[in-house]
Structure 1
């Protein structure tokens, strides 16, 4: 039996499983099997956790398709929520998680029942404008690294259409485009006003999702750097709201919710 915890951050759902319960050579297969929506538990990915201290751990994320992602902002927050629950952590307590993209510090802002508000230090982003030739059309975007790759495309309104095509279709084509040999996360961003944006995401290894922590950061960073966005941004996705603070040069701070859903055992 495999003990697990299920959690979500703005609808982006994850299973948290301690590494001692699944050997390294079975982690990929287990993630694919358990993430299935109809025949498994259902999730966007599995965060495998190794505790390294009362407030510290090492995590590795397997997407629903079995690929390994360097980092998930929402997944990291879900793990932090579970660790906070287990250790009884409260306001201002911090958790340090080592990811494949480096260490990420999470601070508990608030706890309400099984839900937490958590602020995460997400590292210093790398950004550059980029063009992608998609079926004969040049797509203008911003390449952003938050420890994992993103391609941000600005759209005119909340239909999120790109050249008359749905964001889901264009997101798929961009994610698997030859210009991105390791694939990429794709965000479609509508600027509502200087201090607020809304976005949709086609997530590498998953497909369309309701939210993304690193996608939230990438969208905000691109808006701040290239659309005159405020340094404190409200970022809305289908699954809910998160907040990003970035001064244009140093570390990105991401604040958002994480909710524990269930605890159980899987075969």
Structure 2
């Protein structure tokens, strides 16, 4: 039996497991436990390691078993769990994309509002060539993990004659990105608000993404002249980003909710 916690941030759901239970089975556990129809179901697993020096470290494995650098929403889910289980209001969580510091703004168990420091985004305009599509203009954005942001005008987020899900899948696995990339389709609604859709590397379309929110916001601020404080709306809800200047860390504020605790059998 493997103990787990399940939480979500704007519908982007994660399992939280102790690292010591994984052994070398991280990818296997992710594929099995994240299966929607035959197991618990989730977009990924956050493996939480408590190191001997007192620090905390997260390893994120996507539903397909691939490992990613970090997840903004997943990190926030872990912070919510640590607030619920240990009363922590401020916590630094190490990831392969850097340390992310989380502060609990409001606690109404099982729902938490959390502000996370997400590092300094790097934005680089780039046009890529997609087979059978042609040139696709966008921006490569790094917020600890890779993103390709495309600005669209269509209400359904379609681009280049394709549904965003289809174009996102093609770009995410393109040889242009040897390690894959997350893909965002962004509409600027006003100087203070954007809407976006996300095709996540390793799990496909998701209702939200913390790093996707940051990447979309950073691209809009840097390339579309929006305000430095934005509301970013995804299918799962809204989050707020603040990026004071190009050399400052971006702050991301959004909800995280504990869904359940349990034990997974047959592993």
- Is it true that 1:132 corresponds to 2:140 in the alignment? no
Q: Give, in angstroms, the shift of residue 52 of structure 1.
A: 4.0
Secondary structure of residue in 2 paired with 1:42 = coil
Relative to structure 1, the CA distance from residue 53 to residue 95 in structure 2 (aligned partners, 3 Å threshold; closer, same or farther) is farther
Relative to structure 1, the CA distance from residue 20 to residue 154 in structure 2 (aligned partners, 3 Å threshold; closer, same or farther) is same
Residues 115 and 257, structure 1, Cα contact 8 Å, conserved in 2 = yes
Q: Give, in angstroms, the shift of residue 102 of structure 1.
A: 1.3
Paired position in structure 2 for 1:6: 6
Q: Give, in angstroms, the shift of residue 56 of structure 1.
A: 4.7
Residues 16 and 47, structure 2, Cα contact 8 Å, conserved in 1 = yes
1:87-146 per-position Cα deviation (integer Å, ceiling 9, x unaligned)? 123xxx310100011111000000112010000000011110011111251100010000
Q: Give, in angstroms, the shift of residue 27 of structure 1.
A: 1.4
Residues 245 and 254, structure 1, Cα contact 8 Å, conserved in 2 = yes
Paired position in structure 1 for 2:208: 211
Paired position in structure 1 for 2:260: 262
Q: Give, in angstroms, the shift of residue 60 of structure 1.
A: 0.2
Structure 1 unaligned residues grouped into runs of 5+: none
- Among candidates 154, 158, 174, match of residue 155 of structure 2: 158
Residues 185 and 202, structure 1, Cα contact 8 Å, conserved in 2 = yes
Residues 224 and 248, structure 1, Cα contact 8 Å, conserved in 2 = no
Residues 2 and 22, structure 1, Cα contact 8 Å, conserved in 2 = no
Secondary structure of residue in 1 paired with 2:99 = strand
Give 1:95-106 correspondences, 5 Å limit.
Answer: 95-106=91-102
- Is it true that 1:111 corresponds to 2:107 in the alignment? yes
TM-score when scaled to structure 2?
0.96
Paired position in structure 1 for 2:59: 60
Q: Give, in angstroms, the shift of residue 164 of structure 1.
A: 2.0
- Counterpart CA distance in 2 for 1:56 and 1:76 is 14
- Among candidates 91, 94, 113, match of residue 90 of structure 2: 94
Q: What RMSD over aligned residues (CA atoms) do the two structures have, in Å?
A: 1.3
Number of aligned residues: 263
1:57-84 per-position Cα deviation (integer Å, ceiling 9, x unaligned)? 1110000000000010000000000011
Secondary structure of residue in 1 paired with 2:136 = strand
Residues 175 and 204, structure 1, Cα contact 8 Å, conserved in 2 = yes
Q: Give, in angstroms, the shift of residue 178 of structure 1.
A: 1.4
- Is it true that 1:230 corresponds to 2:227 in the alignment? yes
Paired position in structure 2 for 1:83: 82
Residues 193 and 230, structure 2, Cα contact 8 Å, conserved in 1 = yes
Secondary structure of residue in 2 paired with 1:162 = coil
Structure 2 unaligned residues grouped into runs of 5+: none
- Counterpart CA distance in 1 for 2:26 and 2:234 is 30
Relative to structure 1, the CA distance from residue 113 to residue 264 in structure 2 (aligned partners, 3 Å threshold; closer, same or farther) is same
